[in-house]
Amino acid sequence: MTAEPLAAYAVVGEVLADLEISAAWLVDPMSGREGAADIVVRAGIVETVTWLDGDDTGAAGQGGIIVAPGFIDLHAHFREPGNEDAETIASGSAAAAHGGFTTVCLMPNTTPPLDEPGVLARVQAAATASGSPVRVLAYGCVSAGRAGEQLAAIGELADAGVVGFSDDGSPTRSAAVLRSALEYAGALGLPIVEHTEDLAMTEGAEANEGLVATMLGLRGWPASAEASAVGRALAILAEVVREVPGPRLHLTHLSTRSALELVRRARATGLPVTCDVTPHHLALTDAWIAGSRSWAWEDGDERAAAPFDASLRVNPPLRTPDDAAACLEALLDGTACAIATDHAPHTSVDKHVEFGQAVNGISGIETALGVVLAAVDAGRLPLRRAIEALTTGPAGVLGARLGRAVGIVEGETAELVVFDRADRWTVSSEALASKGKNSPLIGRELPGRVLVTVAQGRVAYLAE
Amino acid sequence: MTAPVSERGPAPVQPIVPTVDEAPGLSPVPWSHRHLLDVDILTWDEIELVLRTADAMREVLARPIPRVPALRGRSVTILFYEASTRTRVSFEVAAKNLSADVVNISSASSSVAKGESLVDTVRTVEALGADMLVLRHPVSGAPHLAAEVFGGSVLNGGDGWHAHPTQALLDLYTMRQRLGSLAGRKVVILGDVLHSRVARSNVWSLTAAGADLWLCGPAPLLRGFGAWGPAAGFTVTTSIDEALHDADAVMALRIQRERMAAGLLPSLREYAARYGLTRERLALARPDALVLHPGPMNEGVEIAADVAAGAQSAITEQVRNGVAIRMALLYLLAGVTR
């Protein structure tokens, strides 16, 4: 299957009239099945899914054309309202579709923050106006104004349709507020998505505390700043669970072995906690700041690039190869249920500056698939587990608020991505649909070119 | 990261000494670096070339009129984003001794104070004709960003906690002048190592010179170095007695009041009592041990006034040698962009 025949009769935003994919490799994490299949979509509806076996499979295989349910990103920043110079809902949605994502959950740290339903209405209106079929969901703030002192309008926001609550960008400052939020949102069946960071330990911090930061003279960001905040959240959750039915805690972008180990143990005791890891924390390391461009699981030239590339400044910081390995282990054993991008686009004014003066964040929603596939190619992550962590895993965190089932099911509206694992593409400013060009992968070739993304039965992305 | 090649290799048969009276680049020297951002990129042979070139510059400085026309027509811009007297003046004197045109920009007197970005400032400086840029900046790595956009040579005059290559080279030069080869000689860097770009650059140059390097200070100010030491070949200790025992050279580092506010140290008083370089403590070192300080000094805190002014002190020589080292580096870098 190639994209060329499609381009003739498919237009982004419009209902997908006709798509026939023969002998592709279908990964369906809902049924746990993967294999060669023919898929036919007509008028936006999955008409037939035919699993093939024996001689019919042809050239289909894990290394070729892959069809999977559309990806779900639990963590993205589209900057609207307030910072439309960095990203808009329209540009972010185009970037998401380019990355194979059909659903995004936006963090509420906009200007103004999404702490009351009026801001959510603006986000929803912008999503509709964009013409993109990518589903734009949003979290509300935990605290009013993200100030960490009083609860935001949690009940009203829940009624208006948010998918959970987060003060992301920073932790919920007050432990007392975090406790109330877990209780209050728990009663409404919605998760608290916590950014775990002990701010007292990270003031001015620039890079993971360790050998690289020491050698480069960068202010250290200790692993314990994450683990101690995870410990705080878990201790609170353990008490709330005894008092209230239904609290849920989701810890986002965990980056250290010690924090992931705390979550593993907490889950073993039955606490309702889940977590995600980002593509950059599982594949990149702090050695990149010194000039390495090797994946976390590789040995390589420590000086492949100039040091201090500010596009690598991110919160939490890139960690050691052992921490990256721990992120992969957490995905493999289910401690982490999702890969979330923490797509954080920024303008060059904020990023093309001195390392320590750059704002934190990586524009990553378009490179997520390629980075994850690099781990798959290296034998570090089975393809099916990678797809689960991009689809059913995050769907489990969203629950009923996702508003649909995950899967490629006959008779249902098509929600899928088609990509070619054998085809590579080069990341460049021009190739990124996001306004945020702050990617440390610019210039790098990634595996797995997305050919077509279909959301809500409509064309979201189509390769040229 | 790889350390420079050690000096314990075979010496070159006929060391090349640049003829500093003529324009750089006319006679071939084994130097290919357009920028000097840290000493970690230099091989030991290149470090020796810098030291020999500094010898030639010392000879110029000893002349009745200490000036050569080597950089006539070149424009050196000195861009400092941090207050500094000795380093800025040292670069200015060095550039003028080489007959360069010198432009001085300090952050308070330019549009930097209005929020102009480093990238814009560097491009503007280049458009105004600068061939060489000497940059001092409070953020680690800033000279790398400047080098990315500047068409000429960038010379790092100190960035954040990261690097201060001219200081490390003048320290090395000063120690070699007094002690000869540093191979196997015990050198101690004492004090606030964590926040010190001087310490970091000295780690590269002193381990390359084969010195028995010791870093000593209160534990919170050595953070991270314990893991680096075994890889780079230096020793880290909180025991000042152990560090100073039989030392050949001791460099005390400036301690700043901000360290108390950050909760890293109890008080300056306690620091002075436990880690101040006093006459009694210095007696633990070899009788002829050299005393150094990169300045500016807090006398009575990290170093006693009588030690700083004593016979073993090389502190004023460091300042004098600083001009020769900076002349040498300006000269060598200018030869690449000729």
Nearest to B29 by CA among B2, B6, B53: B53
Q: Which residues of B touch A302 (CB under 8 A)?
A: 1-2
| Residue A299 annotated to the active site | no
- Which of left, alpha, beta for A180 (phi over 0: left; psi -120 to 50: alpha)? alpha
Q: Quick check: helix, strand or coil at residue B336?
A: helix
DSSP label of B150: -
Q: Do A307 and B141 touch (CB under 8 A)?
A: yes
What's residue B261's pLDDT? 80
DSSP label of B3: P
What's residue B337's pLDDT? 79
Omega within 30 of 0 (cis) for the link into A81: yes
Question: Would you list the domain boundaries of chain B?
Answer: 39-163+321-336, 165-317
Omega within 30 of 0 (cis) for the link into B296: yes
What's residue A59's pLDDT? 73
Query: Which of B161, B200, B202 to probe by mutation at the A interface, max A CB count within 10 Å?
Result: B161
Q: Is B293 exposed, middle or buried (0-12, 13-18, 19+ CB in 10 A)?
A: buried
Reported ipTM: the value is 0.93
Report all structural domains of chain A as residue ranges with CATH numbers, in order of start.
Answer: 4-66+412-462 (2.30.40.10), 71-402 (3.20.20.140)
Query: How far apart are the C-alpha atoms of A210 and A201, rounded to whole Å?
Result: 14
Taking residues A177-203, report their average pLDDT: 97
For chain B, the average pLDDT equals: 92
pLDDT digits (tens, 9 = 90+) for B274-288: 999 999 999 999 999
Nearest to A349 by CA among B123, B120, B154: B120
DSSP label of B246: T
- Rounded to the nearest angstrom, the minimum Cα separation between A74 and chain B is 33
pLDDT digits (tens, 9 = 90+) for B52-65: 999 999 999 999 99
Secondary element (H or E) of residue A239: helix A224-243
pLDDT over 60 (residue B14): yes
What's residue B338's pLDDT? 63
Cβ neighbours of residue B233 under 8 Å, at least 6 residues apart?
A: B3, B207, B213
pLDDT digits (tens, 9 = 90+) for A285-307: 999 999 999 999 998 778 899 99
Chain A residues whose C-beta is within 8 A of a chain B C-beta are 206, 209-211, 213-220, 290, 302-303, 306-308, 310, 349, 352-357
Sheet of strand B75-80, all strands in order from the earlier edge strand to the far edge = B101-106, B75-80, B132-137, B153-159
Q: Is B263 exposed, middle or buried (0-12, 13-18, 19+ CB in 10 A)?
A: exposed
Query: How far apart are the C-alpha atoms of A119 and A300, rounded to whole Å?
Result: 47
- With tokens 């008409």, the residue in question is A47
Nearest to A263 by CA among A196, A199, A182, A178: A196
Count CA within 13 A, CB hemisphere, residue B134. 32
At the topology level of CATH, where does B39-163+321-336 sit?
Answer: Rossmann fold (3.40.50)
Count CA within 13 A, CB hemisphere, residue B61. 19
DSSP label of B200: H
Query: How far apart are the C-alpha atoms of A23 and A67, rounded to whole Å?
Result: 10
- Rounded to the nearest angstrom, the minimum Cα separation between B1 and chain A is 6
pLDDT digits (tens, 9 = 90+) for B84-117: 888 999 999 999 999 999 999 987 666 666 678 9
Asked whether the beta carbons of B252 and B303 are under 8 A apart, the reply is: yes
What's residue A126's pLDDT? 98
pLDDT over 80 (residue B16): no
Nearest to A75 by CA among A378, A280, A348, A356: A280
What residue type is assigned to position A74 of the chain? L
Q: Which of A73, A167, A323, A342 is catalytic?
A: A342
Taking residues B194-216, report their average pLDDT: 98
Distance, first Cα to last Cα, chain A: 14
Q: Which residues of B touch A290 (CB under 8 A)?
A: 1
At the topology level of CATH, where does B165-317 sit?
Answer: Rossmann fold (3.40.50)
Q: Do B225 and A353 touch (CB under 8 A)?
A: no
Query: How far apart are the C-alpha atoms of A29 and A388, rounded to whole Å?
Result: 6
Share of chain A above pLDDT 70, in %: 98
Asked whether the beta carbons of B244 and B281 are under 8 A apart, the reply is: yes
What's residue A233's pLDDT? 98
